[in-house]
Amino acid sequence: MESSAAVHERGLGKTLRRDRWWVPPLSVALGLSLCGAYATWAVLQGNYYFAEQFHYLSPFYSPCITASCPEDIRLFGIGWWPLSPAILMMGVILGFRGTCYYYRKAYYRAYFMDPPACAVGEPWGEGYKGETVFPMIIQNLHRYFLYASVVVWLFLTYDTVMAFFPHGQFGMGLGSLVLLVNLFLLSGYLFGCHSLRHIIGGNVDCYSCAFGGKARHGAWKRASWFNKRHMGFAWFSLVFVCLTDLYIRLVSMGTITDFRLF
Amino acid sequence: MARRTFEVYRGTAADGKLENYDVEVEPGMVVLDAIFRIQAGESPDLAVRWNCKAGKCGSCGCEINGRPKLSCMTRISDYPDGESITVTPMKAFPIIKDLVTDVSQNYRANKKIPQFRPRPKDAEDGWRMYQFEVDKAQEMRKCIECFLCQDVCHVLRSHGKHEEFAGPAYMVRTAAFSMNPIDTVDRIEFLKETGGIGYCNITKCCTEVCPEHITITDNAIIPLKERVVDRYYDPIKALVRLVRRGGKNG
């Protein structure tokens, strides 16, 4: 016989679960922290983000909009910004990932322990307000970060194409393929966005009554395919964007030589 | 024949304990079978709610080794031999006796949802619609109201926000109404205010425990949250609405 406390107890980690429930939140915390630390470091560097010879631009620095950007990739040439050009774009990317419905689950569990895992006690009590008040009410702006991210995605697509046409002629190296895979993963992540899925067709109930209803249903179905895999794309794209930056950085520094295929 | 130890909660909310039972088990048995054997032997007064024993009535929800499950659909062989199995009542609801909880707060939440109201019939024998446009609502209609999602939802379970948040089961029900192509009722204000959809922080536990495999978070709660965003948090849409209203008045 055991005390009833085991059934009624509340508080951090209180549970009757016997599996290793703490492994997923711990892994997520480690993964997000590692990627976050690398991305922060890379963004603050402000150099070795462009391998001019092959026209490889780090995705963290695309589009490059300040006056300090190399001429080949400079856009707008904002002169008043003294810091790394990537910091300006990071607000968009961080906002998009930070308010993403998948990442919300990930960091609410891993960092906020709200809850750390299903049916596991948490440190917070009755003062919980969820996403109804500031600051978490900001999560509702996810679609605005989505709109901005679509613009960034267009620039990333252009940069990836340019990695196959350095200096106006076709050429392909390992870096071109790295950028292509990076674009594929980021696209998969973007197309599976819950807000995008809603805007393009999820908000329609009667497709046969709505203008362009069938087309919107088709778009919604396609977005739903990506949406089912949103977590996978979120992780793979996050890790790979860091690896892409690292590859371009090493090529740009001359530490490694890009393997040329054509 | 093998024997397994079951630790079953006995008592009320105020006074109770986990009691050990040594039960003879056979291949294919589910946890509810073991509960029946305990009732038939040592403890005829062990209270448990059940009905269909086929995973369709949603009555036998409880927590097995701390995880919300239907006891009629949980095989004993899913748990390692030699280890005891803990069976406790759903933690989010007040215990009446043993494994039976008072789930009436769910019925109160249900009553708050603005009910389904179809548009006028568009044919003599009813309404015309295509299968592809009822798929979304049909997924929600699979709900058997077992309340496992309500039980695991930390907003209800850990924070006790039963009055502020209707809970995942009733987000599913609201989605079933609102995503129906012939429904005419606006439930956005209900979702934001009475339903308290903002309390959900997308931790997806409801989806993990649903025995009907309804993708509760991705296909019900998030789409409904997005509808609330359309109305209350989207400045561009607000501007468009303002211009349209101005145009009509002008």
State the DSSP string of A29-83: HHHHHHHHHHHHHHHHH-SS-EEGGGTEE-GGG-SEEETTS-GGGEEEEESS--S
Residue B108 is assigned to a structural domain of this protein: yes
Q: What is the mean pLDDT of chain A?
A: 93
B50, B90: one domain? yes
Cβ of A143 and B198 within 8 Å? Answer: no
Which two structure tokens, joined as six digits, stand for A261? 């295929």
Rounded to whole angstroms, what are the CA distances from A141 to A97, A192, B56, B71?
12, 17, 39, 41
pLDDT tens string A14-27: 999 999 999 999 99
**B-contacting residues in A 139-168 (Cβ below 8 Å):** 140-143
Are B117 and B81 part of one and the same domain?
A: no
B167: left (phi over 0), alpha (psi -120 to 50) or beta: left
Contact B158 A143 (CB under 8 A): no
Nearest to A1 among B19, B155, B227 (CB): B19
What DSSP designation does B54 have?
A: S
How much is the pLDDT for A255? Answer: 97
**Domain match, B215 and B181 both:** yes
Distance from CA of B18 to the nearest CA of A (A): 5
- Please report, for the domain that includes residue B150, its CATH number: 1.10.1060.10
Higher-confidence residue of B250 and A113: namely A113
Q: Percentage of chain A with pLDDT > 90?
A: 82
Q: B39 and B6, same structural domain?
A: yes
Task: Give yes or no for residue A77 having a pLDDT over 90.
Answer: no
Please check whether residue A47 is in contact with residue A57, taking contact to mean a CB–CB distance below 8 angstroms: no
| pLDDT tier, A3 (very low <50, low <70, confident <90, very high otherwise) | very low
Q: Which residue is associated with the tokens 């929800």?
A: B61
Tens digits of residue pLDDT in A102-149? 999 999 999 999 999 999 999 988 899 999 999 999 999 999 999 999
Answer whether residue B250 is part of any domain. Answer: no
The CATH number that applies at residue B22 is 3.10.20.30
**Looking at beta carbons, which residues of chain A come within 8 Å of B229?**
140, 142-143, 195
Q: Do B203 and B144 belong together in one domain? A: yes
Domain final residue pick, B101, B133, B167:
B101
What is the C-alpha separation between B34 and B62, in angstroms, rounded?
A: 14
Is pLDDT above 60 for A5? no
* Per-residue pLDDT at A1: 41
Q: For residue B181, what are the contacts with CB-CB under 8 A and spacing of at least 6? A: A205, A206, A207, A208, A209, B129, B133, B134, B137
Q: Which of B17, B133, B217 sits opposite A4 (nearest CB)?
A: B17
Token reading at A235: 């992780």
Is residue A81 scored above 90 in pLDDT?
A: no
Q: How far is CA A237 from CA A14, A189, A231, in A?
A: 34, 7, 10
Q: Is residue B126 part of a domain?
A: yes
Q: Is the pLDDT of residue A163 over 50?
A: yes
Range of the domain at B21: 2-101
The answer to whether B199 contacts chain A (CB < 8 Å) is yes
B160 reaches A (C-beta below 8 A): yes
Q: Say whether residue B9 is in contact with chain A using an 8 A CB cutoff.
A: yes
Specify the higher pLDDT residue, B186 or B241.
Answer: B186
Does the CB of B230 have a partner CB in chain A at under 8 Å?
yes
Q: If pLDDT is split at 50, 70 and 90, which confidence band does B250 have?
A: low
The β-bridge relationship of strands A64-66 and A74-78 is parallel
B248 is a domain residue:
no
Calculate the average pLDDT of chain B.
95
Is ipTM strictly over 0.90?
yes
| Residue A197 pLDDT > 70 | yes
Are A163 and A56 contacting, i.e. CB atoms less than 8 angstroms apart?
yes
Quick check: is B64 in a domain?
Answer: yes
Q: What is the pLDDT of residue B239?
A: 87
Q: Both B148 and B42 in a single domain?
A: no
Which residue type sits at A81? Answer: W
- Confirm or reject contact between A14 and chain B (CB < 8 A): no
Please state the domain count of chain B. Answer: 2
Cα–Cα distance, A37 to A60 (Å, whole number): 13
Q: What residues 52-91 of chain B have any CB closer than 8 A to a CB of chain A?
A: 63, 65-68, 83, 86, 88-89, 91
Rounded (5°) CA angle B175-B169-A230: 65
Indicate the residue among B48, B77, B101 that finishes a domain.
B101
Q: Give the pLDDT confidence score for residue A6 in this predicted structure.
A: 60
For residues B91 and B113, the answer to whether their CB atoms sit within 8 Å is no
Cβ neighbours of residue A228 closer than 8 Å, sequence gap 6 or more:
A192, B218
- The encoded tokens of residue A183 equal 């674009």
Mean pLDDT across A229-258: 97
Partner residue facing B17 (CB), from A2, A143, A195:
A2
Q: Assess whether B60 and B18 both reside in one domain.
A: yes
Chain B environment of A198 (Cβ under 8 Å): 222-223, 226-227
Q: How far apart are the first and last CA of chain B?
A: 84
A185 pLDDT more than 50: yes
List of residues 6+ apart from B169 with CB closer than 8 A: B106, B109, B143, B145, B147, B149, B150
pLDDT value at position A2? 46
Mean pLDDT of B197-213: 97
Candidate from B18, B203, B230 with C-beta closest to A6: B18
Q: Among partner residues B86, B130, B202, which is closest to A101 by beta-carbon distance? A: B202
Given B37, B66, B101, which residue is the final one in a domain? B101
Among A230, A20, A3, which residue's Cα sits nearest to residue B204? Answer: A230
**For B153-203, what is each residue's pLDDT tens digit?**
999 999 999 999 999 999 999 999 999 999 999 999 999 999 999 999 999
The answer, for A11 touching chain B at a CB cutoff of 8 Å, is: no
The span from the CA of B57 to the CA of B61, in Å, is 10
Q: Mean pLDDT, to the nearest integer, of B200-211?
A: 97
Alpha helices in B92-158 (DSSP H): 104-111, 131-140, 148-152, 154-157
Residue type for position A218: G
Task: Report percent pLDDT > 90 for chain B.
Answer: 91
Between chain A and chain B, the number of residue pairs with CB atoms below 8 A apart is 158
B50 and B119 in one domain?
Answer: no
Q: Are residues B63 and B76 in the same domain?
A: yes
The yes-or-no verdict on residue B1 having pLDDT over 80 is: no
Task: Return the number of other C-beta atoms located less than 10 Å from residue B155's C-beta.
Answer: 25
Chain B residues with CB-CB distance to A1 below 8 A: 17-20
